[in-house]
Structure 1
């Protein structure tokens, strides 16, 4: 690859990361039960893989491809035997004080954590990220009908579990 080609590739990738990274981390955090550190790790892995494939990706499908990669990476992370190990430390980790946005995210995460994984993914992609049924189906690797049913069942389950928040689940 020429130097000019590498610079163009890096510029396009950098522009994508600057514009989409926060959204990808938010989706990953919601899917991982609010664990922002794991979400950052998952998105970093996804961005590394995305960078390697960048020259072969169509510009009009990069966002959808990245979301699909995040969903798959979260699923892989949950299946990883390494994740199940306990990490012992002699020192208590420093924890930053949550701001208002983090409190909103943590309450939403607590609600979503009660759903099975596929329902949670459908609800996050459709209701939180605002994706269309087709976009969510592409990200989840399933049919549009599956997305519709998982979303409807997930919202209904949330309404049943948390009647005080029923009006929040539109």
Structure 2
């Protein structure tokens, strides 16, 4: 297995005091390209951890991510973009943090129950991510957006951009009660 790094995300994944690292990029295994995240455990001795492939059909060369305790358990979870998913509709993949690094994962899509927008091709759901305790309830929420711009003129938007806030809970990031905000005044609401 080999890989090409495209981005790095730092944060506390396990409950020790060290900052951990995820390297996001493209993995190559058995002649196939996949989108992947490599966990690197921080501390006085840096340790290579789990490799997680999360999109086996198309690479996302602009992947982005954020680490926060979405599951309210003291472990940092990685939310990572997967914009090529479902013909470009996009998704956010969440790798749950645990005592030794990443554990299980789950995918959030724009067409999930509770999200106030419908998924269409090239929406690029998840292309921008942020996290924080937006409700002052001790739980991190995950902010993401949709929308694309033409490659030749970044100021000319080809579809409406929407900001979405997905709430954190004991089960992790949830689409239930997601908040929507239109980010582009050029499009009627």
- TM bucket normalised to smaller: under 0.3
Higher Cα radius of gyration:
1
Give the TM-score, by structure 1 length.
0.28
Greater strand content:
2
Greater relative CO (CA pairs within 8 A, separation 6+): 1
